[in-house]
Structure 1
Amino acid sequence: MGGDERFGPIEMIEDVIGVASIILTIWAGCFLAGGLGGIGRGRLDSKIARIITHALRDARDGGQSRAQIARDMAEFLGRPVSEAILNKWCSEGSEEHRIPLDAFIALVKVTGARDLLGFVPGEFGLTVIEDEYAALIEERLLEEHIEEMQARRAALAARRRVNR
């Protein structure tokens, strides 16, 4: 710490508020992005069909037709994508039509449905955050680790003084 006394109650409150604001900002970002909380349970292929439906519905509400999305995806991928295949990808009963990963990425890209990116990590209990927040979180984790190491060093020094 080198003379910087940061263990006072005001500084501790500031640290807690800082971490809480980072967490709240990330949570609010996920919430405001629409999230995927309404996808529900069930088979994985059914959940995937529902998130695609969710993205297409939001895009429609934003003024994009399925035909336009299909054209934009085809241009992005460099291969044909039809409105009919979009419909099949949305159908929970269409077992032989699964969206390929590159088409999923194209769907996110052309619709702007970035909340879909949280689906796969969410299946593993993980969360996607924007890069700008990752740096803040990493910085705070490093600060906590440094504080822990400094506390351990102080405890060792105190024990050494007692043993003299």
Structure 2
Amino acid sequence: MAKPDILDVAGVDTSGDLWNRHADACCYLRKVVPLVQAVTPYGAWVTGRKRHQGDSREALQPIKASDGWVKINPLARWTKQDVFRFIAQRGLPKHPLLEQGYLSIGCQPCTRPVSPGEYERDGRWAGLTKAECRIHAFETPPAEPSAASAAVPD
């Protein structure tokens, strides 16, 4: 399982509020670095991204090879209805936060329920121009990531 290094987090997010001070650095430290470290030995990874999830994903292809990485997006063409149909047909449980208005689930401090009429990802990083955690933004395997590269001044 990919997870952030506890010592890197402690060294960079000394006050525990990096998410509030610098959301991009927080996502990099807690999401991007662990994912890159986990997938680098394989050169490929499977995502759950879907085209209906936003403008930046509208042209998403099921398989994308770029600069040494292969991203496999098996759900790229699925609609919201396809997802719920799949869940219902297989008797799978829905995420319990769906009933509370969380239509897109991220990390706890950066996710809120959406109001009627809002887009499903509007509950992510509310009030910021940020729309992605950037784990899907790297196309070339980055150099060895370090917590120092996520450090930001107070």
TM-score calculated relative to the size of structure 2: 0.28
TM-score calculated relative to the size of structure 1: 0.27
Structure (1 or 2) with the greater strand fraction: 2
Q: Which has the higher contact order (CA 8 A, sep 6+)?
A: 2
